[in-house]
Structure 1
C-alpha cells in the first residue's frame, strides 16, 4: 500500500538483489586500501538525474519501474560490492567491504505531488536547496551485530520518483568508501545501458564498463591503510548526516567554450609565465576568486590575512606505477591544496593569482608522482584539520558526462550534485547545452548567492 508524506507518495520500498539467472558468487570480500580508508567518516554522496518524459502513473508503475528494477538486478551481478555492506569492527580488526548471498540494494518508488514543479527544479537559476532532498533516499540505518563483533553499514540507496506528465528523477545516495566518482558514475552508466538495450556482459564490455576489483594493485609499502585506521578508529563510527538543513540556494552556472578561452587569454596576458593553463585551472580559479570576493559583500566578517584554501582530488589510476585499469572500482584519489590570503584573492588581481596558484600546484605536484604522494602518510591529519577553515573544493569532474546517461527515454535535462550542500564544494561537469562548455553547481546562503552571481557575471562582461 502506498504511503503519502506531505507532498510525496511512496508507492513502495523494496530490495533488489543481483539477478538469480546468472552465476553470482556466494561471497565477495574486499579490503580497504588507504585510498578508501580516508573516506570512512565522510558524509554520503547524493546525486540526482532529471529526465523530461510525459508519463502517467499507471505506465510508470506497470512498465518503467519493472524494467528499471529488472535491469538494476542484472547490472548488480557485476557490482556485488555495491550490494554488500561495510563491515566495521566494534572492537578489533580492520573494516572491509563484504557481499554475501542474500544481500540487496534499497530501492524506493515514489510520486511527486503538484506541489513540486519539475521545471523549477531543473532550471539553472537559484532554487531552494532543501527542495531536492525528497528525491534522494537516506542510506538504511547501520546495524550492530554483537555476536559477530561488527557493525553492518549499507552502502547505497536508490530512489525513482515520477512527476506525472512531466518527468522522472533518479536519485543515488552512496557511502563514499565504496568508490569515487569514477566508480559510481561507471555503475550508473552500466545500469542505464542495460536498461536501454538489454543484455549484460556484452553491453558492459562494449562500453568499457566492466569493473575491476583486485585491490592488490594498490601498493601500500608504508602501511598507510593501517596508519589511517589507527587514527580513525579512535572516533566511534556514527551515521554521517545525509541531509543538511539549511537556508541555502542551489544554482548552476555555465561557461561556454569561447568564454573559457577568454579567461585563458586573460590569464596568459597577465601571467605569461604560468606553469599550467587548462580549462580546469581557469574555471576553478575564477569561481574561487568570485566566492572570496563575495564573502565580505554578503556580510561575512573576514580578516584580510585570513587563509583561503582551495583543494581538489586527482584520479591517480593512470598515475600509479604501474598504472591500474581505468575500470578499477573503489577510491583512487590523491589530494592537493593551495593556500592564499583573503585580502589577496579579494583584490583586483585575485583571479589571476588564483589561476597562478592552481596552475603551479598542477605543474609541480599533480604532474609529479613523487611530489603528489610525498605527504600521503599525513593526508588525514593534514587535510582533515582544514575542514573547519575557509576551504573550497571540487566535486565531480569534467571528464564525467552525466548528460550521456540514457535509460531509454533520452538524455537527462538536469544533473544535480546534492551533497555539495554540506562540504563547501562546487560541482563540475560537462555542459548539456554547449559543446566544450562546463557546468558549475553551487550551494550558498541566499545573500551570498545573490552577491556571487553579480560578481561572476560582471567579471565575464569585463
Structure 2
C-alpha cells in the first residue's frame, strides 16, 4: 500500500490538563535529577503509540462529545498522584548554573492535543513495514517554555481519532524524568481512573503511592557531578546533538515493523543456543540475540569505513537497579533507576552466539555491585554506542504495557503498541506479545527499507535457529 501523506492528520483542539485535585501542600515541588536521571539527559524523548480498534466510533463528534471528557478527567486524576509530570524541567547543565531539576509551579499542566486522521488505521496498526513519516504526525512534541531551551515540559499527549476505525493515543515523555517502570505507573493509573468513570471531583485510589524522595538514591561515588561534567564536555548545553549517528529520522525510506517470537520459537532458539554455546538463555536474551544477529546480517559484512575491517558488533541494554542499589530502593520510587550494560562480539554473529553473549552479561549481574562497575563512564558510553551504531533495547516485556493501557469500556487493551522513538535510537522495542493470547515477545525495529527486507529474510528463512 502506498504511504498516505502525513498532512491528513488535522489538529482539532488543544487542552491543558492539570492535576485534579492539586497535589497536597506538603508534597515536594522541586525534584533534583539524580545520576540515574542524568544518564538519559541527552536521549531523545520516549514516544509510544497505542492503537485502539473501535469500528463503532462513527465520527469525530462521537468521540469529542462522548469519550473525550472521560479521557481528560482520568488523565487529570492520574496526574494528581504523578504530579511532577505536569511540571517543567530546567534544561541547563552549564558551569555555574543550578543543576537540572523538575519543578511544578501553580498552573502547570500537560498539553493534550486532539486530532483527526484520514489515514488507514488498520494499516498503521499492523506489524508489517510502515513508513515512519506516517506515524510521526500521531506523536506530540514536548512544549518549550519562555521562548528558550531553559525550561521544557516533560510530558505531552495526543489522541488522534480515526472515524469508523478507532483512536491512537500518542505520548512523549522526557527520558530524564521517568524510566519504563515509572512511565507504566502513569499509564496504569490513567487507565484505572478511566475504567472507573472518574468525573474529576475525586482522585482514584492507589494501593501504593509513588515515592518522589530523591534522598533514597545514594551517590557515594559522586556520579551526579561526574555526569554533569561529562554532559558539559559533550556540549549538550550548547545544543549539540550527540546521537546523530543513531538517528534515522532525517533519512528517506525508513520503515517500522514488528516481529514476533512466539513461545514455541523461543524454545527452539533456546535449544539451539544451548547445543551450540552451552548457555541456557532467558526468553529476553533469545529474542534480543536473534534480533541483534539479524540487524548485523541486514547491515552486511562491509559496513564500516572503506578498506577497513568491519568493526565489532555492539549491543547495549539496561537493567533495573532498585534491588541492586545499596541500600535497595523501593519499587514505587518514581524516576530513573537503571544501569547500563554493554556486550561486544565479532560480527560473524548467529542468533545462538548473540543470545549467549547477552545472557552471559545478564548472568554477570548476579554478583553484588557488578552493575555499578564502570558506572563513571555511563554518560560517555551513550555517545560511544551511538557512534558505533550499537543495537540497544527500549521497553521490556516485564512492563506489561498492553495490560497497563487497558482503558476498559469500548476501548479495552490496545490492539498494537509501538515505541516509535526507536527510529532515533536504533533500539529494539520490546513488549509482551500477549494481547492475542499466544504469548511470546514482540520486537519492533526501524530500519531503511532494504535493511528491513534483509532482516525479514533472516527472520523467516530459519536463520534465527
Decide: shared fold, TM above 0.5.
yes
Q: What residue is the counterpart of 1:411 in the other structure?
A: 413
Relative to structure 1, is the Cα distance of residues 24 and 195 closer, same or farther in structure 2, using a 3 angstrom cutoff?
farther
CA offset at residue 13 of structure 1? 1.0
CA offset at residue 22 of structure 1? 7.0
Q: What residue is the counterpart of 2:266 in the other structure?
A: 260
CA offset at residue 381 of structure 1? 2.1
From 135, 139, 158, give the equivalent of 1:136. Answer: 139
For 1:143 and 1:40, how far apart are their aligned partners in 2? Answer: 20
Relative to structure 1, is the Cα distance of residues 383 and 158 closer, same or farther in structure 2, using a 3 angstrom cutoff?
closer
For 1:332 and 1:378, how far apart are their aligned partners in 2? Answer: 16
For 2:47 and 2:133, how far apart are their aligned partners in 1? Answer: 13
Relative to structure 1, is the Cα distance of residues 252 and 419 closer, same or farther in structure 2, using a 3 angstrom cutoff?
same
Q: What residue is the counterpart of 2:328 in the other structure?
A: 323
- Write the deviation string for residues 110-158 of structure 1: whole angstroms up to 9, x where unpaired: 1112xx000100111111111101111111124368xxxx921111110
Q: What residue is the counterpart of 1:81 in the other structure?
A: 84
Contact kept? 1:48, 1:417, Cα under 8 Å: yes
Query: SS at 1:161's partner residue?
Result: strand
CA offset at residue 299 of structure 1? 8.3
Q: What residue is the counterpart of 1:248 in the other structure?
A: 254
Q: Which moved more, 1:191-200 or 1:97-106?
A: 191-200
For 1:119 and 1:430, how far apart are their aligned partners in 2? Answer: 20
Relative to structure 1, is the Cα distance of residues 133 and 383 closer, same or farther in structure 2, using a 3 angstrom cutoff?
closer
CA offset at residue 322 of structure 1? 2.5
Q: What residue is the counterpart of 1:433 in the other structure?
A: 436
For 1:184 and 1:354, how far apart are their aligned partners in 2? Answer: 29
For 2:438 and 2:332, how far apart are their aligned partners in 1? Answer: 26
CA offset at residue 319 of structure 1? 1.8
Output the TM-score relative to the length of structure 2.
0.89
Unaligned runs of at least 5 residues, structure 1 = none
Contact kept? 1:40, 1:176, Cα under 8 Å: yes
Contact kept? 1:193, 1:407, Cα under 8 Å: yes
Residue 151 (structure 2) pairs with residue 152 (structure 1): yes
Q: Which moved more, 1:383-392 or 1:60-69?
A: 383-392
Q: What residue is the counterpart of 1:446 in the other structure?
A: 449
Relative to structure 1, is the Cα distance of residues 201 and 325 closer, same or farther in structure 2, using a 3 angstrom cutoff?
farther
Unaligned runs of at least 5 residues, structure 2 = 1-5
Query: SS at 2:444's partner residue?
Result: strand
For 1:420 and 1:151, how far apart are their aligned partners in 2? Answer: 26
CA offset at residue 18 of structure 1? 1.0
Relative to structure 1, is the Cα distance of residues 77 and 119 closer, same or farther in structure 2, using a 3 angstrom cutoff?
same
Q: Which moved more, 1:70-79 or 1:411-420?
A: 70-79
Q: What residue is the counterpart of 1:34 in the other structure?
A: 35
For 1:261 and 1:81, how far apart are their aligned partners in 2? Answer: 42
For 2:327 and 2:464, how far apart are their aligned partners in 1? Answer: 46
CA offset at residue 300 of structure 1? 7.8
CA offset at residue 244 of structure 1? 2.1
For 1:50 and 1:328, how far apart are their aligned partners in 2? Answer: 29
From 92, 102, 105, give the equivalent of 2:107. Answer: 102
Query: SS at 1:172's partner residue?
Result: strand
CA offset at residue 189 of structure 1? 1.2
- Describe how 1:310-389 pairs up with structure 2 within 5 A: 310-342=315-347, 344-345=348-349, 350-364=350-364, 366-389=365-388
Contact kept? 2:48, 2:417, Cα under 8 Å: yes
CA offset at residue 232 of structure 1? 1.2
For 2:341 and 2:232, how far apart are their aligned partners in 1? Answer: 24
Output the TM-score relative to the length of structure 1.
0.89
Q: Which moved more, 1:9-18 or 1:162-171?
A: 9-18
Contact kept? 2:90, 2:152, Cα under 8 Å: yes
For 2:240 and 2:168, how far apart are their aligned partners in 1? Answer: 25
